[in-house]
Structure 1
Amino acid sequence: MRKSLIKVADGANGQERSCCCGPGYRSKGFTLMEVLVALCILSVICVILGPLLSTGLVWIDGAGQESRAAFLAFSLLEAVRANPPQVKGFLQLEAEELGVKIEEGWEAKVYLLPCDDLNRLLKVRAEVKYDSVSKEKVVIHTMIRQK
């Protein structure tokens, strides 16, 4: 884009000088209208993305709780696998009985049930309830061999 220069006569010297104003000339700064439009667009974007950001943070927190609960359930299974009890019938164990610490407000249980005639195999179910409000829980099933 070409700048248009207007020739202005200087009264004192009689010389002409260039003036940078007129049609087609743009200054190097922003106008007030451009700044206001940019602020409006930015505020609309913030209004739209604000709830998405807070929802995302809630999901991240829920995923963190779920992964901690899954880790706790695997810890319960490993505690049972390391020292399997002799079970003749259905048996329910709390996490504290297995020496596994749990977070406050959480519930952790292990259910054991013999699954063959010789009582050599046990069905093991580890259950961790990690959200008291929505009753969210992680359940892991496996089988282990009794000693």
Structure 2
Amino acid sequence: MTGGRVFIQHGTKGGRERIINELTENGKAAIEYAKAISGINNLIPNDHSEKQWIQKYYRITRAKGISKKECGASSHGCRHAYAQDRYEEITGFKAPCKYNSKKEFRKNAMTIAGEKWNKLNQDARQIIKAELGHGPDRDDVVSQYLGAI
């Protein structure tokens, strides 16, 4: 961690490098924990196989009430929530998926940000794609998290 940002090179899905900005205190604690238990160049502890680690992950998330059965949301749904929260942090307005129509979204974005709303939208999508580990050409994926305009 440097300057409030984290650069992750090893252990990510697909091996894609990631930069995470503006970590919360819980996020910082999670990263310190991951560093303490992780293997060399891998986020899986040396004493676990990948299968064991995945099973442990789902056991912990279920125990914390993060499951479709318990709260109606999956752990992957947390990625959607993160993306939508980050979008609002970056742009100052809610993600398109939070509105009933694209027209309603554009009207709100224009009211809040004026003519620069579209540039803010594009910049936010690029940042979020990188933070979630998707390439710059994966507009389709980020639109699944945020909604299309």
Give the TM-score taking structure 1 as reference length.
0.25
Larger strand proportion, structure 1 or 2?
1
Larger helix proportion, structure 1 or 2?
2
Answer with 1 or 2: which has the greater Rg: 1
